[in-house]
Amino acid sequence: MAADIKVPTLGESVTTATIARWIRQVGEAVAADEPLVELETDKVTVEVNAPQAGVLAEISAPEGTEVEVGGLLGRIEAGTGAAAAPAAPTPEPTPLPPATGVRTPQAAPGPVARPGVSALPAAARLMEDRHVSGEGIAGTAKDGRISKGDVLEFLNKPAVQQAPPPVKPARTPDVREERVKMTRLRKTIAARLKDAQNSAAMLTTFNEVDMSAIMGLRAEYKDAFEKKHKGIRLGFNGFFVKAVCAAVQEFPAVNAEIDGDDIVYKHFVHMGIAVGGANGLVVPVIRDADQKSIAQIESEIAGFAKAAKDGTLKLEQLSGGTFSITNGGVYGSLMSTPILNPPQSAILGMHKIQERPVALNGQVVIRPMMYLAVSYDHRIIDGREAVSFLVRVKESLEDPRRLLLEI
């Protein structure tokens, strides 16, 4: 019985994807729900799993092909394939000392894998763990690919010599450029940022905040906070999210968007938090951030950061934001003008905390200061509203008691 492999629903406003990589190849056995192919959308990379166990009989969309939701990717047929064929029992390889070169076995019958011949995933992992290359390994899988059994057989043969590591050829003077095709995510980021500049009347206003109160509060309670909330760390982002949520109640246009000739005011805050992912900047969303505690906010942000690093963010986590926060300070930025994340009308930029001399009660003192920036769409937000909004955020951060008292 055959089963079609189709492009799944990819999330809000995502209708197409590009085949990034086929994890399995035609003729290989697959288990039910095993990852088969990676799809790259304009937001995240998505794995498509096998609908049933069997053999990958056909690949309808090769790597690099653009496909639509519901489109056919390939077909699985019941049965067993090359990867599922029972292998002759092989002894476990004896532990090897840390290798500094490539292990070369005695001559073996069968086809010899040339440099560049691909290996099955399990074989590739084993070769990486054992510090061996594919050169000299007999590939017995389909199309001469190297299987795990081939690697094990290679490892258990006595070495006749220890070859030195290959010397990387010197870079010739005329090879000074490298051309790499842009990913869908990078192209989408570029297009959205340019669209934001072209469509919105974007302005940026600045202020600075004395972080002494937040830093003192954090230093005093971070251990107790982490203990009470089971390992959740008390950072700065939770305070900034709460400060923004409080300020948008007074200035709702900052949390609104333009839809044709209408202004849509949101009576909730879905807070986007910009994080650096494996393939570029992504903005996962904390739903109903205005209804959540600092502990809940910090927990979600930590989860987003890990998922972005691992490439496991889900599409539904990246849509529906009403306001965004970006922190260039983690990279050392002292000041910047953040770009809007359409259709949102404002974004808050955090920056590096730096000790600076400031005037306080007629005296010059040293304080940990941070520049804040709010970029906003002047079509919907007046300058007075943007400046006043940023002042409210500053006041809440410099005196966190205002957040508790809601003033």
Integer Cα distance of 160 and 171 in angstroms: 32
Do residues 393 and 242 lie in contact, with contact meaning Cβ atoms separated by under 8 Å? no
Using alpha carbons, select from 98, 204, 113 the residue that is nearest to residue 154: 113
Under the phi-then-psi rule, with left for phi > 0, alpha for psi from -120 to 50, and beta for the rest, what region is 24? beta
For residue 193 the two structure tokens come to: 């940022």
Q: List the beta bridge partners of residue 102.
A: 163
Integer Cα distance of 405 and 407 in angstroms: 6
Q: Residue 236 has what DSSP assignment?
A: S
* CA–centroid distance for 314 within its chain: 10
Integer Cα distance of 374 and 286 in angstroms: 19
Do residues 335 and 371 lie in contact, with contact meaning Cβ atoms separated by under 8 Å? yes
Question: 330 in helix, strand or coil?
Answer: helix
N residues, the chain: 407
Integer Cα distance of 231 and 287 in angstroms: 22
Catalytic residue among 33, 129, 223, 378: 378
Q: Any catalytic annotation for residue 378?
A: yes
Radius of gyration in angstroms for the set of CA atoms belonging to the chain, rounded to a whole number: 28
For residue 204 the two structure tokens come to: 């940026």
Question: 271 in helix, strand or coil?
Answer: strand
Catalytic residue among 150, 210, 382, 399: 382
Integer Cα distance of 294 and 233 in angstroms: 10
Q: Which residues contact 83 (CB under 8 A, 6 or more apart)?
A: 24, 28, 29, 30, 120, 141, 147
For residue 9 the two structure tokens come to: 């629903």
Catalytic residues: 378, 382
